[in-house]
Amino acid sequence: MQTGQFLGSPSVEKLRFTLQRPHLSSYWVKRAMSSSFTTSTARIGRFHRSQEQGARRVPRRRRRRRGASVVEVAFVMPVFFLFIFFIMQFGHAYMVRNMLSAACRNAARLGSTSGVTSAEAADKAYQVLSPVAVPDEIDLIIKDASMMDEGQSVPTSEEECNNLTDIELSSALPRQAFLVRAQVRYGDVAFLVLPGFADLEIVGRAVTRHE
């Protein structure tokens, strides 16, 4: 093939035409980039539209979940508060029982000394119990417990204790045993009474011997 024919071929002419006009090549590059950008923009737009549609659907699910939470709280909270009040009630009742026992021990310790009357020992018990109840709400008895010397046990029930013989501590014999018993109705001393606690009888007692 001759050199003149090669130089005059269509391919060489196209190459020469392109090299002589570089702005035409940049035009095709720009057009390709523009096409890619348009495609990417369309994809991003579709993505954002799908995200917005999903975001508009979220509040409905949240509203449904919020309604379910309200129903759950309505069922759970009464049981929870009842449980809390029961714990508070039990703790307060246990505190009253401890104070009754402490009042009986203090009264018995004072009454075991010489020259102290039964009324003074009872006043001591009322003084210890003053933060819990007034004297009219307390059933306090001081009884003879000489049956211990005969090998018998001291009664525990209210009726049996009331049937014991009264004792005046100022005239008690040396080493004579006596009982101090205090009882209150919980409904009279409670700040908040739950069902089943109002008629609960709380008892404290102490048994000791006179000097």
Q: Is the four-CA dihedral 116, 118, 123, 124 of positive or negative sign?
A: positive
The yes-or-no verdict on residue 30 having pLDDT over 80 is no
φ, ψ at 35 (rounded to 5°): -65, -45
DSSP 2-29: -HHHHHTSHHHHHHHHHHH-HHHHHHHH
Instruction: Pick the more confident residue, 184 or 53.
Output: 184
- Output the pTM of the full model: 0.64
pLDDT at 33: 47
> How many contiguous H segments (helices) and E segments (strands) does the chain have?
6, 3
Helix (H) or strand (E) holding 156: none
Q: What is the pLDDT of residues 64-96, one digit of tens each?
A: 666 677 788 888 888 898 889 889 888 888 999
pLDDT digits (tens, 9 = 90+) for 99-126: 999 999 999 999 999 889 999 999 999 9
Helix axes 118-128, 22-111, angle to 10 degrees: 170
Q: Which of 143, 108, 107 is nearest to 124 (CA)?
A: 107
98 alpha-carbon distance from chain centroid: 25
